Amino acid sequence: MSIYETLNEQQQEAVYHTEGPLLILAGAGSGKTRVLTHRIAYLIEEKGVNPWNILAITFTNKAAGEMRERVDDIVGFGAESIWVSTFHSTCVRILRRHIDKLGYDTNFTIYDSDDQKTLMKDVCRLLQIDTKIYKERMLLSAISSAKDELVTPEEYRIKAEGDYNKQKTAQVYEEYEKQLRANNALDFDDLLVKTVQLFQTQADILDYYQERFRYIMVDEYQDTNTVQFELIRLLASKYRNLCVVGDDDQSIYKFRGANIKNILNFEQVYEDAKVIKLEQNYRSTSNILNAANAVIRNNCGRKDKTLWTDNGDGEKIHFRQFDSAYDEAEYIVGDIREHVDDGSCTYNDNAILYRTNAQSRMFEEKFVTANIPYKVVGGVNFYARREIKDLLSYLKTVDNGQDDLAVRRIVNVPKRGIGLTSINRVQEYASTHEIGFYEALRAVDLIPNIGRGASRLDSFVALIEHFKADALDMSILDLMQEIMDETGYIESLQAEDSIEAETRIENIDELMSKIAAYEEACEEANEPATLSGFLEEVALVADIDSLDESSDYVVLMTLHSAKGLEFPKVYLAGLEDGIFPSYMTITADDPEEVEEERRLCYVGITRAKQELTLTCARRRMIRGETQYNKMSRFLKEIPMDLLATGAVFEKDDEPPKQSAYAQARQTFRTRAFAGAAKPVRQFAVPEGNGPGYGIGDRVRHIKFGAGTVTAITEGGRDYEVTVDFDGPGTKKMFATFARLEKI
């Protein structure tokens, strides 16, 4: 039997259609990776395509690694010539060879989010930007959005004319880019932007890669943004053998710049495109898929498709509504413990998914109390830890002395008596003479008023030059060891004699293991292990790549992080309006925003293979305030016959008598003490008989928007008003402070 006969009819059609533009609409769990790998094998074995003429792009290192492994297994000889990588890795590989055409050195540094924040602080300080008004994160977000849309600083400044705030952002954008170039550094957005600029300005380089990649495949196409679309369009424009695979129902990264129109309008861009739908799901049971179909069907901006499976009906979906988030967490943790104890599952069969990172705290506390192993995916990235960034900055300085951020980070780490005054004088000299910070250090004798700091700075430069010379002959592992020995970095941590310092030393040991693993991998692939290559690999690591599926722990993660994963048992928690969909989405009054949230719910449901449990709470503490939320509208879109017996929808119970709210309410009902010697300050009661509106009236709140008054209670000091808001749900408040306006 041919390997292609193991595919279903639609999968075979996708494999056999090799020429011209092709859109594969692959529903969740429909075997798209299998289709892509078999398609690559078919191109080589049956169509005689050279392996090096094939490019396969996906979004995460994890997905690229899985595809690489499968391609190697199925193709065998010649598979190593196929480019299988992420967008960013592909671009880095191209830029390492050709970025000198754009005026950069090929040993450029890649700035992560922490580096960007540090650079932005420097830019704001230089331009005297008030960061209380113009938040650094907001400025970085605006610049990232501009780059996603291929808008240069000059174009941004022209478009900002007449808008004072945008003109400020344009000023920051220009200086930010100037500093990046001076540091011979690129941020993540630049990796894509500079590659597109390279192709747009260097026709010979574009032609080379068009000839090289005659067959292009792009996975997760629904997550592409404008710059990624343009990159692929340029590469594919000569031979037009472009195959894109995606699912518009799983487009959930709008906040990162993803443009769902790239997949929805594919046939308009490529009028001769073939469209194939993969609707058979191999992951989940019918009940889970029917729930997912019922929810996503409420979206208008989508291509019609319905998931189905031969896996059988399976268990019905479990639904539980709890009085509080505390009860919700207690139930889920207890349910996991019960099923592990009876042998029906292991810890790593279970995943708890939620809308926001803040929701993990309650679960973490319960897991610690119950002594259950767990891991929160998406916490502090290993490479963002202080000691790791310190040592990587040494490597970056050795590799690229133009990286001012890296040099400034380590110039006095460990402490070598170089004060902030000396550092500032070096920086002023560098800025005045328009040279890099490290270049200024090398000319420290020429810096006025540097004083006694000169000898220490000279020693630092001599140390770095020594490392640079040794790097030519040493392995990266030996170089890292020498850096730690010569600088006394480990000794400085040991001198702290604290548990935190011990943890940092353990992290450094892990970094050494990572370097060794990188060098071994290069040796196996018969490739040179370079310092630039190692720093590049480290820079491109994502949080999700740290998920070890072989370890036995419960996984906690946001729904955005869960995309592309699957688990036998999934708990989807916090399904309340105001939480999921989020309060901002509801109040935005934008149907597209709600549709994105619904796609996120669809992604969450389709992560489950065998069992799905949906939970919500009537009250939840958010930012120190108890909120009473309605059940999520997405829950109500699931047909009742798919839910297990005993699921009960909406129940308006009073909060328990022992709650803090009940106690406060009791205090409120007590009239102010009369007859005291000193006058008691009375709260102002709204004029007229009552607050100016009644039960059933529509009112508007400055924060929560429009809602309907459901109850008004007269107290001794004020009126207590209960309002069922359209978005955030039910709120109880005092009339005087609520300042509700009757609509």
Per-residue 3-state assignment (H helix, E strand, C coil) for 392-455? HHHHHHHHCCCCHHHHHHHCCCCCCCCCHHHHHHHHHHHHHCCCCHHHHHHCHHHCCCCCCHHH
Q: Are residues 392 and 430 in the same domain?
A: yes
Q: Which amino acid makes up residue 369?
A: T
Whether residue 538 is contained in a domain is answered as yes
Share of the chain above pLDDT 70, in %: 91
pLDDT at 657 over 70: no
pLDDT at 267: 95
The 10s digit of each residue's pLDDT in 244-260 is 999 999 999 998 889 99
Does position 653 have pLDDT exceeding 80, yes or no? no
In this structure, which amino acid lies at residue 643?
Answer: L
Range of the domain at 134: 109-183
The greatest distance separating any two alpha carbons of the chain, rounded to the nearest whole angstrom, comes to 101
Q: What angle separates helix 87-98 from helix 531-539, to the nearest 10 degrees?
A: 150
- 414: preceding bond cis by omega (within 30 degrees): yes
User: Which one of the listed residues 60, 250, 615, 627 is annotated catalytic?
Assistant: 250
Q: What is the pLDDT of residue 219?
A: 94
- Considering 283, 316, 355, 607, which one is annotated as catalytic? 607
In this structure, what CATH number is given to the domain that contains residue 629?
3.40.50.300
Is there a catalytic annotation at residue 678?
A: no
132 and 209 both lie in a single domain: no
496 CB-near residues (< 8 Å, 6+ apart): none
pLDDT of residue 671: 41
Query: Do 421 and 516 sit in the same domain of this protein?
Result: yes
Q: Domain ends where: 251, 278, 305?
A: 278
Higher confidence at residue 452 or residue 370? Answer: 370
Looking at per-residue pLDDT, the higher value among 544 and 48 belongs to 48
Residues 552 and 548: their CA atoms lie apart, in Å, by: 9
- Assigned domain for 492 exists: yes
Whether residues 94 and 125 share a domain: the answer is no
pLDDT in tens, 533-571: 999 888 886 555 556 666 899 999 999 989 889 999 999
Count of domains forming the chain: 5
Mean pLDDT of 664-672: 44
* Final residue in a domain of this structure, among 613, 645, 677: 645
709 and 624 in a common domain = no
Confidence band, pLDDT 50/70/90 cuts, at residue 669: very low
pLDDT class of 672 with cuts at 50, 70, 90? very low
Q: pLDDT by residue (tens digit) across 583-624?
A: 888 887 788 999 999 999 999 999 999 999 999 999 887 756
Strands 729-734 and 719-725 come out as antiparallel
Query: By the 8 A CB rule, do 244 and 23 touch?
Result: yes
The residue among 524, 544, 564 that closes a domain is: 544
| Arithmetic mean of pLDDT, 184-200 | 96
Threshold 0.85, pTM exceeds: no
Residue 646: what pLDDT? 59
Same domain as 402, residue 493: yes
| pLDDT score of 109 | 92
Cα 140 from Cα 475, distance rounded (Å): 36
Same domain, 164 and 223: no
Looking at the DSSP bridge assignments, the partners of residue 244 are: 23, 218
Mean of pLDDT over the chain: 87
Tokens 């709204």 map to which residue? 686
Q: Is residue 522 part of a domain?
A: yes
In the predicted structure, residue 668 carries a pLDDT above the cut 50 = no
Q: Which residues are annotated as a binding site?
A: 26-33
206 and 59: one domain? yes
Give the C-alpha separation, 98 to 102, whole Å.
8
Active site includes 355? no
What is the mean pLDDT of the segment spanning 702-710? 83
223 and 77 within one domain: yes
220 is catalytic: yes
What is the tally of helices (H) and strands (E) in the chain? 30, 20
For 205-222, what is the mean pLDDT? Answer: 96
Least confident of 25-29, 502-506, 515-519, 542-546: 542-546
26 pLDDT above the threshold of 80: yes
What is the per-residue pLDDT for 545? 54
| DSSP E strand boundaries for 598-727 | 608-622, 625-628, 698-701, 705-714, 719-725
Instruction: With respect to residue 213, please indicate whether it lies within any of the assigned structural domains.
Output: yes
Burial 149-177 (b: 16+ CB within 10 A, else e): bbbebeebbeebeeeeebebbbbbbbbbb
Helix, strand, coil tally for the chain in percent (to 5): 50, 15, 35
Identify the burial level of 131 via C-beta atoms within 10 angstroms of its C-beta, where 0-12 means exposed, 13-18 middle and 19 or more buried.
middle
Beta strands (DSSP E) in 646-715 are 698-701, 705-714
| Residue 486: active-site member | no
Write down the pLDDT at residue 687.
41
- Residue 685 pLDDT > 50, yes or no? no
Known binding site for ATP: residues? 26-33
> Is 681 inside any structural domain?
no
Is 297 domain-assigned? no
User: Which residue in the list 10, 12, 33, 109 is annotated as catalytic?
Assistant: 33
Catalytic entry in 220, 536, 576, 597: 220
| Range with lowest mean pLDDT among 58-62, 268-272, 499-503 | 499-503
The pLDDT of residue 659 = 40
Position 301 in a domain: no
- Return the pLDDT at 676: 36
Based on the residue annotation, tell me whether 33 is a catalytic residue of this protein.
yes
Cβ atoms of 422 and 440 within 8 Å: the answer is: no
How many angstroms separate the CA atoms of 23 and 262, rounded? 11
Task: Report the 3 state secondary structure along 220-285.
Answer: CHHHCCHHHHHHHHHHHCCCCCEEEEECHHHCCCHHHCCCCHHHHCHHHHCCCCEEEEECECCCCC
Q: Identify the pLDDT of residue 680.
A: 30
**Bridge partners of 720?**
713, 734
- What distance in Å separates the CA atoms of residue 607 and residue 99, rounded to the nearest whole number? 40
Domain check: are 125 and 214 in the same one? no
Q: Using alpha carbons only, give the angle 295, 264, 54 rounded to the nearest 5 degrees.
A: 115
Residue 31 confidence (pLDDT) above 80 = yes
Q: Is residue 684 domain-resident?
A: no
**Cα gap 690→732, rounded to integer Å:** 16
State whether 149 and 233 are in the same domain.
no
Bridge partner residues of 724 (DSSP): 708, 730
pLDDT of residue 77: 79
Shared domain check, 78 and 30: yes
Cβ contact 75:39 at 8 Å: no
